Amino acid sequence: MSLRLGDIAPDFTADTTQGKISFHEWLGDSYGMLFSHPADFTPVCTTELGKTALLKGEFEKKNVKVLAVSVDGLDSHNKWIPDIEEVSNVKMNFPIIADENRQVAELYDMIHPNASAKATVRSVFIIGPDKKIKLTLTYPASTGRNFTELLRVIDSLQLTDNHSVATPADWKDGDDAIVVPSISTEDAIKKFPKGVREVKPYLRYTPQPNK
């Protein structure tokens, strides 16, 4: 059964390139991004893991821990890491799960038989400090992910978690946010001292509250 938004992210214990972890304990009070790649020594995956390593500081600023997974073993991961580092000119700085028994892949429904009977699709799960799934994305094996977009989504999710706002199409950090419909305009004016701009009774903007 596939996981849905708001579900508790399944816990697991796994070997990684940075030692054994217990997922929920490892997350602690952080957000998490768990993402799968189809196989080691593949071109798209090599660029993705390198990009994630380059952006690790950006994830850390947002209190997000990143964790990759594939159905290859530790020996394979460790032999592949030098390629990732060379291609992206970066040191690998986050763990890759060795999931040879497919425990994590099956818990998170990462193998889609009609796409590939063996390899994981490019799944992404953003998980909150409450261990609930905040976002899921699934890409085909041939399409590399946009990690700048994932950082943007995290900004939006965290803004919503901490303030009574949503974000409009193409929103980016610093843009005006949308007052959620459950708050009346009268209450919104009190809640958001930077101002409320009403376009429609159900569409009200306010400057980003945490800026």
Cβ–Cβ < 8 Å for 52, 66: yes
Distance CA 13, CA 25 (A): 10
User: Half-sphere exposure of 171 toward its Cβ, with a 13 Å CA cutoff?
Assistant: 23
Structure tokens at 22: 């217990």
196 is annotated as an active-site residue? no
Collapsing DSSP to helix, strand or coil, 38 comes out as: coil
Burial class (CB in 10 A: 0-12, 13-18, 19+), 58: middle
Residue 151: φ, ψ to 5°: -65, -40
Single out the catalytic residue among 9, 27, 45, 133: 45
96-98 vs 122-127, strand pairing mode: unpaired
Is the backbone of residue 14 left (phi > 0), alpha (psi -120 to 50) or beta? beta
Catalytic residue list: 45
